[in-house]
């Protein structure tokens, strides 16, 4: 547990962060690639200056970069991400959709988009959706209002 410096109380970390093997690693940095990019950028600036001599890109570039700079720590904290085979069936079912779910969603989306005249500019916004009182899920009006598509396009 971490000790708070303000009032000497213990602060418990979030449960998802407990029992996770974190490690420190050196930042992976390819100096050859960095030098190659710098050379390519310099060549690009020279070509730009050759075709547009009125703009001195080197002066503008140095003025812009002189104001703000960023840097990276040479050591990074690594948090491993489990492979898909390491998840339990319960977690897998919450992260990924089955083929049946994907098919059902595609069919539902097709009905809803057809009701909107296949026009992305006329899609029903969240404020016009019904809200399921049990799940809180948004439900497209076409599933409750048989005249939805007629009412929508009579007004346009």
49-74 per-position pLDDT tens digit:
877 766 655 555 555 555 677 777 77
Buried b (16+ CB within 10 A) or exposed e, 19-46: eeeeeeeeeeeeeeeeeeeeeeeeeeee
Cα–Cα distance measured from residue 139 to residue 125, given in angstroms and rounded to the nearest whole number: 11
Q: Is the pTM of this model over 0.85?
A: no
Cα–Cα distance measured from residue 48 to residue 64, given in angstroms and rounded to the nearest whole number: 17
Q: What pLDDT digit, counting tens, does each position of 16-38 carry?
A: 666 677 778 887 777 888 889 88
23-27, 85-89, 123-127: least confidently modelled range: 23-27
Look over the chain and give the mean of its residue pLDDT values, rounded to a whole number: 79
């Amino acid at each position: 547990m971490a000790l708070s410096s303000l009032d000497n109380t213990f602060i418990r970390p979030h449960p998802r962060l407990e029992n996770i093997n974190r490690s420190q690693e050196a930042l992976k940095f390819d100096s050859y690639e960095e030098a190659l990019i710098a050379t390519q950028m310099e060549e690009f600036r020279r070509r730009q200056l050759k075709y547009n001599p009125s703009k001195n890109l080197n002066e503008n570039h140095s003025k812009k970069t002189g104001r703000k700079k960023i840097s990276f720590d040479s050591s990074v904290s690594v948090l491993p991400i489990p492979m898909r085979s390491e998840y339990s069936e319960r977690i897998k079912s919450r992260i990924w959709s089955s083929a049946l779910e994907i098919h059902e969603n595609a069919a539902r989306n097709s009905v809803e988009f057809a009701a909107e005249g296949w026009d992305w500019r006329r899609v029903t916004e969240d404020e016009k959706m019904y809200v399921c009182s049990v799940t809180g899920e948004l439900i497209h009006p076409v599933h409750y209002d048989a005249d939805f598509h007629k009412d929508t396009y009579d007004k346009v």
